[in-house]
Amino acid sequence: LVLVGCGDRTQPEAIWAGTGRGEGEFVYPRAITYHPGLDEFVVIDRTARVQRISARGEFVGGWRMAEWTNGKPVGLSIGPDGNIW
């Protein structure tokens, strides 16, 4: 994941993770959202893994969607109740 700030837009402000199947690694990220209450990002990749990453880029936790063979989400958000949708 690459974050670009308001400064030099040709250079990333931060680079987190890489390609792979380990904690904090992604296989074709499909969706990302930010949870302001926890100061974390939530990312879903092509293998239907949901991972929580801190604002500092550290792996916080994750799980794989139970019905991943029936399709993989391509969007997500944080609801007003704080749940991942």
71 pLDDT band (50/70/90 cuts)?
low
- Using the predicted structure, report yes or no on whether residue 10 has a pLDDT greater than 80: no
The per-residue pLDDT for 11 is 74
20 pLDDT band (50/70/90 cuts)?
very high
- Using the predicted structure, report yes or no on whether residue 41 has a pLDDT greater than 90: yes
Note whether 57 and 16 are within 8 A (CB). yes
| SS3 assignment, position 47 | coil
Look at the alpha carbons of 49, 21, 28, 55 in this order and tell me if their dihedral is positive or negative.
Answer: positive
